[in-house]
Amino acid sequence: MTKRILKGAYSRRKVLKGGAAVAGALAMPAVISSKALASSGEINILMWSDYLPETFLKTFQDGTGIKVNYTGIGSNEEIINKMKATKGRGFDIVSPTNNRSLQWGPLEILQPFDMSKVDIDMVNPAMAKIGSTEWAFTEGDIYWVPHIWGTEGIAWRTDMFTPGGELPSYGDVWKEENAGKTMGRGHSMMLGAGLYMETIGDLEPGSVWKAYESPEAMQPIWTKITEWCVARKGNVKLIWNDADTQKNGLLNEGVIVGQTWDGPPLALKNDGEPVMYAAPVEGAMAWVDGMAIPTGAENIDAIYEFLKYAYTPEYAGEAIDHHGYNSPVLGADKFAGETYAKNFAEAYPGDALANLNPWPAEPQWYADARTEFVNKFLSA
Q: What is the pLDDT of residues 211-248, one digit of tens each?
A: 999 999 999 999 999 999 999 999 999 999 999 999 99
Does residue 191 sit in the same domain as residue 88? Answer: no
Whether 191 and 214 map to the same domain: the answer is yes
Q: For the residues 341-356, what does the mean pLDDT come to?
A: 94
Quick one: which of 370, 362, 347, 315 has its CA closest to 97?
362
Structural domain span for residue 80: 3-149+287-347
**pLDDT score of 30 more than 60:** no
Residues in the chain: 380
Report the candidate in 367, 290, 365 with the shortest Cα–Cα distance to residue 329: 290
pLDDT digits 0-9 by tens, 300-345: 999 999 999 999 999 999 999 899 999 999 999 999 989 999 999 9
Longest dimension (CA), the chain: 64
> Which distant-in-sequence residues (6+ apart) come within 8 Å of 152 by Cβ?
188, 192, 259, 260, 261, 262, 284, 285, 287
The answer to whether the beta carbons of residues 169 and 281 sit under 8 Å apart is yes
How open is the CA angle 362-366-370, to the nearest 5 degrees?
A: 115
pLDDT (0 to 100) of residue 19: 33
Domain count, the chain: 2
**By three-state DSSP, how is residue 166 classified?**
coil
The C-alpha atoms of residue 316 and residue 331 are separated, in whole angstroms, by 9
Domain shared by 182 and 125, yes or no: no
User: Do 280 and 226 lie in a common domain?
Assistant: yes
- Please report the pLDDT score of residue 337 as a whole number: 86
Same domain, 137 and 36: yes
Q: Provide the pLDDT confidence category of residue 7 given band limits of 50, 70 and 90.
A: very low
Q: How confident is the model at residue 152 (pLDDT cuts 50, 70, 90)?
A: very high
**What secondary structure does DSSP assign to 78-102, as a single string?**
HHHHHHHHHTT-S-SEE--BGGGHH
Q: Please, which residues have CB within 8 angstroms of residue 368's CB and are 6 or more apart in sequence?
A: none
Whether residue 36 has pLDDT greater than 60: no
Over residues 78-120, the pLDDT tens digits come to 999 999 999 999 999 999 999 999 999 999 999 999 999 999 9
Do 218 and 365 belong together in one domain? yes
| Chain centroid to CA 352 | 17
pTM: 0.85
Average pLDDT, the chain: 90
| Claim to verify: residue 232 and residue 369 sit in the same structural domain | yes
Q: What is the CATH number of the domain that holds 337?
A: 3.40.190.10
Q: So what's the pLDDT on residue 1? A: 33
